[in-house]
Amino acid sequence: MTFTKRKVAFISAAVILVFFALASSLGLFSPDTGYIVVPHGNHNHYIPHDRDPDMPIHTFPQRPPREGELITPDGRIIRDSTVVAPN
């Protein structure tokens, strides 16, 4: 393999690595859960994407919402009225 081919292969591999690192940091490989996890000391808070910016982080729940629940912009966990219960 010549020097030019190695150089092209190395640059191609670096570009692919940077692409996947950027895609991963933007959350393209993770499912949209409707909230983000924010580390806060020795515990986590679960913050909805549409959170009220006037609400402090410590008012949000320390557990993820269960199936059929959602986190409101003010930090309450409520039943998700869009989920249909199975009969």
In DSSP notation, 3-64 reads HHHHHHHHHHHHHHHHHHHHHHHTTTTS---SEEEEEETTEEEEEETT--TTS-GGGS-SSP
Residue showing tokens 């859960």: 33
Q: What is the pLDDT of residue 33?
A: 78
pTM above 0.75, yes or no: no
Q: What is the pLDDT of residue 61?
A: 94
Q: What is the pLDDT of residue 34?
A: 82
User: pLDDT averaged over consecutive 10-residue blocks of the chain (87 residues)?
Assistant: 88 96 81 82 92 92 90 91 63
Phi, psi of 47 (to 5 degrees): -110, 125
Apex 58 CA angle, 55 and 59, nearest 5: 55
Q: What is the pLDDT of residue 40?
A: 82
